[in-house]
Chain A
Amino acid sequence: SSRLFAVIRFESIIHEFDPWFNYRSTHHLASNGFYEFLNWFDERAWYPLGRIVGGTVYPGLMVTAGLIHYVLNLLHVTVHIRDVCVFLAPVFSGLTSISTFLLTRELWNQGAGLLAACFIAIVPGYISRSVAGSFDNEGIAIFALQFTYYLWVKSVKTGSVFWTIGCCISYFYMVSAWGGYVFIINLIPLHVFVLLLMQRYSRRVYIAYSTFYIVGLVLSMQVPFVGFQPIRTSEHMAAAGVFALLQAYAFLLYLKDRLTKQEFQTLFFLGVSLAAGVVFLTVIYLTYTGEWACIHVDFFFPRHTVFYSHLGPFYAKIHIPIIASVSEHQPTTWVSFFFDLHILVCTFPAGLWFCIKNINDERVFVALYAISAVYFAGVMVRLMLTLTPVVCMLSAVAFSSVFEHYMGDDTRREKPPAEDSSDEDDKRNSGNLYDKVSLLTMLMLMLLMMFAVHCTWVTSNAYSSPSVVLASYNHDGSRNILDDFREAYYWLRQNTDEHVRVMSWWDYGYQIAGMANRTTLVDNNTWNNSHIALVGKAMSSNESAAYEIMRSLDVDYVLIIFGGVIGYSGDDINKFLWMVRIAEGEHPKDIRESDYFTPQGEFRVDKAGSPTLLNCLMYKMSYYRFGEMQETEAKLDFRTPPGFDRTRNVEIGNKDIKFKHLEEAFTSEHWLVRIYKVKHLDNRESLDHKLRSVVPKQKYTSKKVRKSYLFQ
């Protein structure tokens, strides 16, 4: 229920950036049907390239929402597709906590399952992706992930084809929902592999994995976006390798039954050395190319680039600025670990230890899960999401075994023996023990309570803002809503031609497409780096150079975000260096990052800033007429000079900004969004007056007559 803060505080609205695209395609699906959706060519994105949406998205999310909407409407429950989309994530997080309960129950016991379900229900790391309105792949993918794992554990335990098929179907759903399915297709083979190494091979494992690999492979290839990747790309090769290994192992065991020891040993020696050699080489190769480690595929980026970014935290920063420019792709800090997981981050190693201590087949699995997830979460903030469920499970195991040990016993079975001995010393000891136990349990409960408080606090403060609508608080505590984004987008939607092309930085591409319904040049599906670089180049060039680029791209409007008036820090000037860097990556001749720094190497927008910066298009668009603006209503300081940028706390350097090829078309109420119109080419030089005498005289007189009639 804490996931609904956003709806209560604001309204039932789609949040952030990507959800807007998902919403838009769901809307398309709901209104045009499934096949139309699969064949959808979106000409509104990536002008002039367009985008084949049906083949480049994971359709699970849209199909789920569309299906729910369809069923509800079939029952005449007239719910708007937007509401379905907004509330999908909270509903699925409920399912997630159920599947977490099931999985933990399989791993440990019912009590731990219950605790794990409670943890996953409130842990901020997961809430961040599943608040109402956050209509994103991750919301349903975590459910699919947990459920697949549950079914996998179940099928390993029972060795029944039934559970394995269930696991495959769940895996198929996961594949259709999120690129993170690669995590599953590598973790499960890893599990099998480790089981083999630990001499824990059994017929159950063989049945489960063989069925899973084949059926799962076939099913996953049904998703258009995935296609033939499972048999072509390296990140799926581990699964194939383990499959082959398992077959070989099973075959060897079979031979062992049939052959004499002598024969077998020669065969075994030959076979094993061969197989081991092959596997060893493959592993070496994979490790060498770094792809073994990269088992998460990012939805947003061309695959290979993201792999490298998973390799090590610093790789991307140096080589691929576009990936590094996303805040979600930064390496995780300790603070954010604690922020998102709080006490669980401390207790989950204990759970892991409990698991390893009483090891069995499925606990091997969860241990592997935990270790790999920890590694990936360390690399990238957004992969915190895959870590969260396992942390919840293991912490639940830790808490539950502690409670079982101390609480379960003292109420019932510890009493009689203590009284039976009826020794004074014993009694005193046990009394002390009770004190300690109760103190400890109290402490644990306190921790859990603090955890709950922390979760609620984080949810309400950090994760419940739609980021489309901003809220600010006045001195008296009343709330102001800054609705500038929607104001500007809606202006675009209503008051521009239906086919205009809007240029903006790619962050806003999905929102423009979703809310303004206009053609964009680049958007959050950053599949074409050079196109983005071109936009970056236009933004960072001077006006006439930018005009050339914009003319060649048929740009009609340019949209920028400017936070200088209200002090919004996520604006385009603060992102500007990334634009420069990305542009430099593709056009190193025209754009140089060093030009935008002062000789001292600072990025400054005031008078000391570099002249290139002060005259580039982005700067001019952001600060156009801002220099005249005196903070008359500034409540804090009356002495601020005109043109004082409240985000960067400086007075801007270039106050006299004139445009030749652009024209201010719209600026939202708090100047947050500014839209400029790209003027068409000027008319040719107007003809000389002398030439006018060619006009026949009669027409001239008739004109005069008409005129006199008008003002008679």
Chain B
Amino acid sequence: MNEASSFRRRAARRPFSAAALGVSAGGLVNEEVKRTVDLSTHLAKITTELVLSNQGHSAVQSFILSVEPDLAPHLAYIGASVKGDGEDDGLLEIQQSDIHGHSGDFYKVHLASSLAAGAQLKVKVEMTFSHVLKPFPTHITQAERQLVVFQGNHYLYSPYPTRSQTTRVRLASKTVETYTKLGNPSKNDEIIEYGPFRDVPPYSEDTMKIHYENNTPFLTIGSLTRTIEVSHWGNIAVEETIDLRHTGAVLRGAFSRYDYQRQSDSGISSIKSFKTILPASAQDVYYRDEIGNISTSHLQVLDDSVEVEVRPRFPLFGGWKTHYVIGYNLPSYEYLYTLGDQYALKMRLVDHVYDDQVIDSLTVKIILPEGARNIHMDTPYKIDRLPNQLHYTYLDTFGRPVLVVTKDNLVEHHIQDVVVHYNFNKILMLQEPLLVVGAFYILFFTVIIYVRLDFAITKDPAAEVRMKVASITEQVLTLVNKRLGLYRHMDEVVNRYKQSRDTGALNSGRKTLEADHRTLTNEISSLQARLKAEGSDLAEKVGEVQKVDSQVKELVCRSCQEAERLVAGKVKKEAYIENEKNLSSKRQEFVGRIDSLLDAL
């Protein structure tokens, strides 16, 4: 049905394409064609080197490549380049088109410079087909080897006549069951050479069929979902979810581990492991599936890449499949380019999974930072873009934009860079830290509110009194300590007086002491009164403190007077010292008592 619809589409476009081809079809001739059909892997890679000559009358801007109708649906990649004297000139631009009256796919190749009448041009065309090697028999046992059939064309399928052509087929092994023998081909080990065929008319087809042994891994990625998450904090996280399938001949009968372990050629077409090459800066590589880490892998860090030896949990035999996730982090400076508010992400749209990979269906999701705008994407080849999605992850408020693109049937040639341009306001970088700060702020604030305010429905008078008393005692404590501080200060004043003999200073010091002491004592006694009012028995203790304190005060005054007398020479030094000792020991005792009382408060 698909065929039919595409045919109708083609028919609708016919007038244009017919007119476009009308000019060139007449003049071009394939002068010399060398085809190489590489069937040594599970892909069919057909490389055609052809010499085009323009035998028309006008210069030609483009030429047509065509693919046989049988093979066309399997075409994964087509590329053409002009072969110069030395190096290749790079790929030419290719556009799909069609030709009325002939089935198959047609591609119009635009030449960089027009081909003048009578001139010749060397062109190299590469085509890769997936799933064209069919296992036959389709089911084999573990001990058997895998045979496959390739069905192609002996000739170059071309809208132009061909003067001379050779076809060389490279196989995976020497063992060939049968092959078509058009023109008596020569077989040499793994190579079969057909031709040369002369003067082949346009659109000639002749089935080439080769049945041979091919034990290379027929590994196919059923679907690959690649998620690239860009963070502006310096990290790009890549995660690939891979569905793998062995698309070779299906295992029939038992799988015997014994044979598999003991005989090296048992299960020769099965896949034990393969290598995935990750970018050189890949870090934190993980390889897991739904039920946890797959412990059978090895990681090797090379100079220019990181190699993961991916070993599925079990060897993959024909028809078996597995599923896994591989992911890693990349530093963003290697892939993210910025100019002011403009950013460009340049990354591989699809990366290497294994050599000669085939991906049946690819989905790439690129998650850009929250707040990215004006997003547009430059893809290296045509790819379907799905509507953008939103993705929420850590600390997101309105979601990150996600670009989603899909494509079917990809091979190694599709490992190319994609560029995503977008604008991003750098202020938005602050959003996430601010969010965290805000959250903590709110948390602490609520705690503060909760602790400071009383939410109890009922009042607890006892607790209130207790709290009041506690606060009063607190005040008493500070005041008493302050008062003791005053005495110490006074001591200093006295000492200074003893040296300087400045009576004025002493007197003023004494005065301030008196004044301060009075205010403090008054405050304390008022607090004491309040304590009494609250009915606390601490009031008595405070009273005691007051009593002791008055004694201390007296002692301080005494020592002060003593000092005056010493300075005045009324007492002898020895006596003074004796006195002072007495006083200070007494004071010590009193202060100790005050302290113990305070402790008891």
B339 at the interface (CB under 8 A from A): no
A327 at the interface (CB under 8 A from B): no
A657-691 toward B: CB 8 Å interface, digit per residue (1/0)?
A: 00000011111110100000100000000000000
Known contacts A494-B321, A625-B258; is-contact A483 B393 (Cβ 8 Å)? no
A179-205 toward B: CB 8 Å interface, digit per residue (1/0)?
A: 000000000000000000000000000
Indicate if the CB atoms of A487 and B314 lie closer than 8 Å. Answer: yes
Known contacts A486-B291, A663-B254; is-contact A78 B393 (Cβ 8 Å)? yes
A335 at the interface (CB under 8 A from B): no
Which B residues are CB-close (under 8 A) to A663?
253-254
Known contacts A13-B292, A711-B178, A712-B180; is-contact A487 B313 (Cβ 8 Å)? yes
Compute how far the CA of A710 lies from the CA of B295 in the bound complex, rounded to whole angstroms: 47
Which A residues are CB-close (under 8 A) to B290?
493
Q: Which residues 178-205 of B have a CB within 8 angstroms of A?
A: 178, 180
Which B residues are CB-close (under 8 A) to A665?
254-255
A495 at the interface (CB under 8 A from B): yes
B593 to chain A, nearest CB (A): 15
Which residues of A approach B to under 8 Å, CB–CB?
Answer: 10-13, 76-78, 468-469, 481, 483, 486-491, 493-495, 514-515, 625-626, 628-629, 663-669, 671, 677, 710-712
Chain A: which residue is nearest B182 at the CB level? A712
Chain A: which residue is nearest B439 at the CB level? A75
Indicate if the CB atoms of B314 and A628 lie closer than 8 Å. Answer: no
Chain A: which residue is nearest B243 at the CB level? A494
Compute how far the CA of A663 lies from the CA of B256 in the bound complex, rounded to whole angstroms: 9
Interface centre among B258, B313, B321, B393 (most CB of A within 10 A): B313
Known contacts A625-B258, A628-B258; is-contact A491 B314 (Cβ 8 Å)? yes
Compute how far the CA of A181 lies from the CA of B291 in the bound complex, rounded to whole angstroms: 32
For B, the interface residue count at a CB cutoff of 8 angstroms equals 30
Compute how far the CA of A48 lies from the CA of B262 in the bound complex, rounded to whole angstroms: 40
Which A residues are CB-close (under 8 A) to B293?
10-11, 13
Which B residues are CB-close (under 8 A) to A77?
394
Chain A: which residue is nearest B209 at the CB level? A710
Which A residues are CB-close (under 8 A) to B320?
491, 494-495
B515 at the interface (CB under 8 A from A): no
Chain A: which residue is nearest B211 at the CB level? A711
B597 to chain A, nearest CB (A): 17
Chain A: which residue is nearest B320 at the CB level? A495
Compute how far the CA of A711 lies from the CA of B207 in the bound complex, rounded to whole angstroms: 11
Compute how far the CA of A626 lies from the CA of B291 in the bound complex, rounded to whole angstroms: 29
Indicate if the CB atoms of A490 and B258 lie closer than 8 Å. Answer: no
Indicate if the CB atoms of A483 and B313 lie closer than 8 Å. Answer: yes
B311 to chain A, nearest CB (A): 10
Which B residues are CB-close (under 8 A) to A667?
255-258
B83 at the interface (CB under 8 A from A): no
Compute how far the CA of A598 lies from the CA of B258 in the bound complex, rounded to whole angstroms: 30
Indicate if the CB atoms of B292 and A486 lie closer than 8 Å. Answer: yes
Which B residues are CB-close (under 8 A) to A487?
313-314
Indicate if the CB atoms of A629 and B321 lie closer than 8 Å. Answer: no
Compute how far the CA of A495 lies from the CA of B314 in the bound complex, rounded to whole angstroms: 11
Which residues of B approach A to under 8 Å, CB–CB?
Answer: 178, 180, 209, 253-258, 262, 289-296, 313-314, 319-323, 392-396
Interface centre among A77, A469, A664 (most CB of B within 10 A): A664
Interface centre among B257, B296, B394, B395 (most CB of A within 10 A): B257
Known contacts A76-B395, A487-B314, A515-B291; is-contact A664 B256 (Cβ 8 Å)? yes
Indicate if the CB atoms of B257 and A671 lie closer than 8 Å. Answer: yes
Name B323's contact: one of A494, A669, A671 (CB within 8 Å): A494
Known contacts A76-B396, A490-B289; is-contact A483 B256 (Cβ 8 Å)? no
The 9 closest A-B pairs by CB, nearest first: A667-B257, A664-B254, A11-B293, A13-B292, A487-B313, A481-B295, A625-B258, A515-B291, A76-B392
Compute how far the CA of A666 lies from the CA of B312 in the bound complex, rounded to whole angstroms: 15
B231 to chain A, nearest CB (A): 14
Compute how far the CA of A481 lies from the CA of B294 in the bound complex, rounded to whole angstroms: 10
Indicate if the CB atoms of B257 and A469 lie closer than 8 Å. Answer: no
Which A residues are CB-close (under 8 A) to B392?
76, 78
A677 to chain B, nearest CB (A): 8
B224 to chain A, nearest CB (A): 16
Chain A: which residue is nearest B322 at the CB level? A494
A413 to chain B, nearest CB (A): 13
Compute how far the CA of A710 lies from the CA of B134 in the bound complex, rounded to whole angstroms: 14
Compute how far the CA of A4 lies from the CA of B293 in the bound complex, rounded to whole angstroms: 17
Given A628-B258, A666-B257, 9 other A-B contacts at CB below 8 A?
Answer: A12-B292, A483-B295, A490-B289, A490-B314, A491-B313, A493-B290, A629-B262, A666-B314, A667-B256
Compute how far the CA of A266 lies from the CA of B67 in the bound complex, rounded to whole angstroms: 113
Which B residues are CB-close (under 8 A) to A626?
258
Compute how far the CA of A13 lies from the CA of B293 in the bound complex, rounded to whole angstroms: 8
Which B residues are CB-close (under 8 A) to A664?
254-257
Which A residues are CB-close (under 8 A) to B254?
663-665, 677
B576 to chain A, nearest CB (A): 32
Chain B: which residue is nearest A675 at the CB level? B255
Chain B: which residue is nearest A677 at the CB level? B254
Which B residues are CB-close (under 8 A) to A669?
257, 314
Which B residues are CB-close (under 8 A) to A515?
291
Known contacts A13-B292, A483-B296, A495-B321; is-contact A490 B394 (Cβ 8 Å)? no
A488 to chain B, nearest CB (A): 8
Indicate if the CB atoms of A666 and B255 lie closer than 8 Å. Answer: yes
Indicate if the CB atoms of A469 and B180 lie closer than 8 Å. Answer: no
Chain A: which residue is nearest B255 at the CB level? A666
Indicate if the CB atoms of A489 and B258 lie closer than 8 Å. Answer: no
Compute how far the CA of A629 lies from the CA of B259 in the bound complex, rounded to whole angstroms: 10
Compute how far the CA of A515 lies from the CA of B290 in the bound complex, rounded to whole angstroms: 8
Chain A: which residue is nearest B257 at the CB level? A667
Known contacts A76-B396, A668-B314; is-contact A625 B292 (Cβ 8 Å)? no
Compute how far the CA of A626 lies from the CA of B295 in the bound complex, rounded to whole angstroms: 26
Indicate if the CB atoms of B393 and A76 lie closer than 8 Å. Answer: yes
A683 to chain B, nearest CB (A): 16
A20 to chain B, nearest CB (A): 9
A79 to chain B, nearest CB (A): 10
Name B256's contact: one of A13, A493, A625 (CB within 8 Å): A625
27 contacts between A and B (CB under 8 A): A76-B392, A76-B394, A76-B395, A76-B396, A77-B394, A469-B292, A481-B295, A486-B292, A486-B313, A490-B289, A490-B322, A491-B313, A493-B290, A493-B291, A494-B320, A494-B321, A495-B320, A495-B321, A625-B256, A626-B258, A664-B254, A664-B255, A665-B254, A665-B255, A667-B256, A671-B257, A710-B209
A90 to chain B, nearest CB (A): 18
Which B residues are CB-close (under 8 A) to A493?
290-291
Compute how far the CA of A11 lies from the CA of B295 in the bound complex, rounded to whole angstroms: 10
Compute how far the CA of A503 lies from the CA of B165 in the bound complex, rounded to whole angstroms: 62
Which B residues are CB-close (under 8 A) to A677?
254
Compute how far the CA of A601 lies from the CA of B410 in the bound complex, rounded to whole angstroms: 66
